[in-house]
Amino acid sequence: MSAVQNKVDSSQAQLDETLQRFANGFSWVRRSPVLHLPSERGLAYEDVTFAARDGVPLEGWFIPASGSRKLIIANHPLGFSRSGIPTHLQPWHGDWAASGNGFEVDLVPDYKILHDAGYNVLAYDLRNHGMSSAANGGVTTHGFTESRDVVGSLEYARTRSDTRDMIIGLFSRCMGGVSTFAAMTRFPEAFDGVRCLVSPQPVTPRYIVQRRLALLGLGDRLDDFDTLIRLNTSVGLDRRVPQEWAKNVRVPTFLYQVRRDSVTDPSDVQAMYDSIPVADKKLQWIEGTTARWDGYLEFQRRPAPMLDWFAKHMS
């Protein structure tokens, strides 16, 4: 074998290894710790556990608002926990800094804002995230299995003696949002009585994958990547379809998104918005940044539009 052929074979092996690492990281997402507590913001809270629709044990917080009969259930983004993601620290910084997202997102201030606006809050960790249990071999499926957690949170709220008669709204971010769309598709009865949804930055996995493969110099390997995640998780990209799931959303819905997000493409969220078959919906773009994390911090920086949406539909 010639030296040239050896070099070609070595280069191909390196590309294959890079593709496999990406597929593995996409399948088994690094957990973020529950690094912050509501007490840091002066909030009383209760540690709670409850079961997902399929019995997976989930961990969370119930943050009461005295005298309120309104409840917001918060679903977190991919790779986060209910308290956020410590991307200012390794190894999370190394995972995300290249995309401009190497700074921390602390989600506890979100719960403080909601509490002070008069809402009880149930915030919890999705399966294979935070302190919740491992399930389905530890793999992430971008809503395909996580939808069962969303339903479990609603069932839990409806069985607690102090929350069962509350008015419910949903604050479902990123994978928490697409998991909510998937749950509305598979378990529509679970959303009877849910008043509204606020969903920052829901995303279709295929868009993230295509963007990342291009950056890795593997833009022609999408089919190979899909094969690898099917082997890892049994759930290919063709079954992770938020744009299709959005067609089954039946509650007033407010989406917002960093328009020039370095991780995805604005056409994705636009297509989800267009697919939602309700008249009472809103799409807001965040300008002046390419950092996806800025979208998750938007509520802390400018909460008025989201609070107005909750107030309008939960009064």
32-45 confidence digits (pLDDT tens): 999 999 999 999 99
User: Residues for the chain: how many in total?
Assistant: 315
Q: Is the pLDDT of residue 69 over 70?
A: yes
Q: Which amino acid is at 273?
A: Y
Query: Can you tell me the distance from the alpha carbon of 7 to that of 32, in angstroms, rounded to the nearest whole number?
Result: 39
Beta strand extents in 67-184 (DSSP E only): 70-75, 84-85, 105-106, 120-124, 167-172
Please, are residues 136 and 234 in contact by the beta-carbon 8 Å criterion?
no
pLDDT, tens only, 183-196: 999 999 999 999 99
Per the domain annotation, does 192 fall within a domain? yes
The answer to whether position 222 is within a domain reads yes
**Residues 238-271: pLDDT tens digits?**
999 999 999 999 999 999 999 999 999 999 999 9
Please check whether residue 16 lies inside any domain of the structure: no
The residues, any chain, with a CB within 8 Å of residue 167's CB and separated by 6 or more, are 69, 70, 71, 195, 314
Q: At what angle do helices 222-233 and 205-215 cross, to 10 degrees?
A: 120
> At 159, is the pLDDT very low, low, confident or very high (cuts 50, 70, 90)?
very high
How large is the average pLDDT for residues 294-306? 98
Confidence (pLDDT) at 300: 98
Average pLDDT estimate for 157-181: 98
- The answer to whether residue 18 sits within a structural domain is no
CATH code for position 78: 3.40.50.1820
Q: Is residue 10 part of a domain?
A: no
1 lies in some domain: no
Looking at the chain, the whole-number percentage of residues with pLDDT higher than 70 is 97
Domain, as residue range, for 175: 25-314
* Angle in degrees, 0-180, between the axes of helices 175-186 and 147-159, rounded to the nearest 10: 80
The pLDDT assigned to 3 comes to 59
Give the CA angle between residues 58, 152, 243 to the nearest 5°. 105
In this predicted structure, the answer to whether residue 1 has a pLDDT above a threshold of 60 is no
pLDDT at 238: 96
How many folded domains does the chain comprise?
1
pLDDT score recorded for residue 4: 54
Check residues 13 and 84 and name the one with the higher pLDDT. 84
Once rounded to an integer, what is the mean pLDDT over residues 306-311? 98
Q: Indicate the pLDDT class of residue 7, thresholds 50, 70 and 90.
A: low
Q: How confident is the model at residue 8 (pLDDT cuts 50, 70, 90)?
A: low
How much is the pLDDT for 11? 83
> In the numeric block, which tokens belong to residue 272?
């989800």
- Asked if residue 230 is part of any domain, the answer here is yes
Decide: 48 and 61 in contact? Cβ < 8 Å. yes
Helical pair 108-116 and 292-301, crossing angle rounded to 10 deg? 30
Question: Within a domain: residue 2?
Answer: no
- Statement: residue 92 has pLDDT above 60: yes
Give me the pLDDT at residue 12, please. Answer: 87
Q: What is the pLDDT of residues 98-155, one digit of tens each?
A: 999 999 999 999 999 999 999 999 999 999 999 999 999 999 999 999 999 999 999 9
The mean pLDDT value of the chain amounts to: 96
